Structure 1
Amino acid sequence: MAGLINFDHVSAGLALADFDSAAAREQMAPVPRGWQQRDTPPTPAAVMIVIFADGRGRLNLVLTLRNAALRGHSGQVSFPGGRQDPEDASLAATARRETIEEIGIPGDDLQILGELPCLYIPASHFEVRPIVARFDGLPTFAPNPAEVADVFCFGLDELLQPAYKRVERRQIRGVDVRVPYYAVREHKVWGATAIMLSEFEGRLRRVLPQQALHAIAAAKL
């Protein structure tokens, strides 16, 4: 599986100008999504999709399990990130700062590859910019226990395998909701994080050679 997806593919996927983000996101969006009417503009925020190559040359992205004591999205899987602070020069700077604070990797080793379109999150009233970054070498994580309960990785080849996608029904605020999710280890990756992953997956599918896609689909889990 090593080498089927590389950083050139990632950059090419991010650069697609005609990609239908909305259609890709709908694949993993809860239904109904629970929109709320708000009178104030959403809070700008950013997350960082950190990608690194493991010892076999296989690309992985980094996910965090949020501390169960946090006020917002507690106990859920997310990318490192948060709201933009006044001193942040850009949303990319926000994503970098939050990533350093949350998972303890050196910011100087993060190379920005590109970004995805902003995603509005109704529950928090945040408008989130996903920033995609390359980390050279094997990261050593030092998670901030106040915010992060666990750090784990998800292979980009796994992201493209249909077997990792599941669906369940949940009662959310008294509403029956169809919830798609990625089953990653013992975790369920759903909501905004799954929506962002779905777009990223779709972009990779557009740029990967058919031979690579067939090899990934045929691989044993």
Structure 2
Amino acid sequence: MISEFAQPRPGRYVLFDVDGTLIDAVANQRRVWEMWAGRYRLDADEVHRVALRTRPAETFAQVAPDRDPAECLAVLHELEDEDVRSGVYGAFDGASELLGTLPVASWALVTSNYEHRVRGRFARTNLPLPRVIVDAAAVQEGKPSPVPYLLAAEQLGARPEDCLVIEDAPSGVEAGLRAGMTVWGVNTEVPAAGVHRHFGSLREAVPDILAFAFLP
């Protein structure tokens, strides 16, 4: 794959989304929302359908407008934290090899989740962690705003044009494009609008991501 004599390409950085890109958490997210819906005696399928395309606050406003949003969020956080402790997680094929090969200072995680959950999921799946993690608490504007990816680049000491974003979700793709970065999509059958390259799986993208990061 990458020769032991290959050197990191100076000024090249890779910024990864987490859920859906490196870690397969689809079943976990559905289970959490089903349990949340059960707490409020709501239709689980409808709640999950809304949650897939909106942020939590918007989901609460649509499916439980008569409930206290702060209480709804506290319940969701409780369920998500428990899922990190007891749920079954899997890393996408290629994730361990990819992250283990990249120099630790050359990549970052940019997630709409919270850092303590990311660390818990990475521990459960034996994935290495980078020095830079930009989570939901680090920014006031989440994806599709470019702010999370621009903050990650700043913390890495990188120029946006030298960053490669790896994403699975349209909102993340939009965020990377608005940040002025190269964006590749993975783990979807249909390319998100605007991606520079698309791969059906993370595994398919591994050689090209490493080629981006290393000198031949």
Task: Report the TM-score when normalising by structure 2.
Answer: 0.28
Task: Report the TM-score when normalising by structure 1.
Answer: 0.27
Q: Which has the higher strand share?
A: 1
Question: Larger radius of gyration, structure 1 or 2?
Answer: 2
Q: Which has the higher helix share?
A: 2
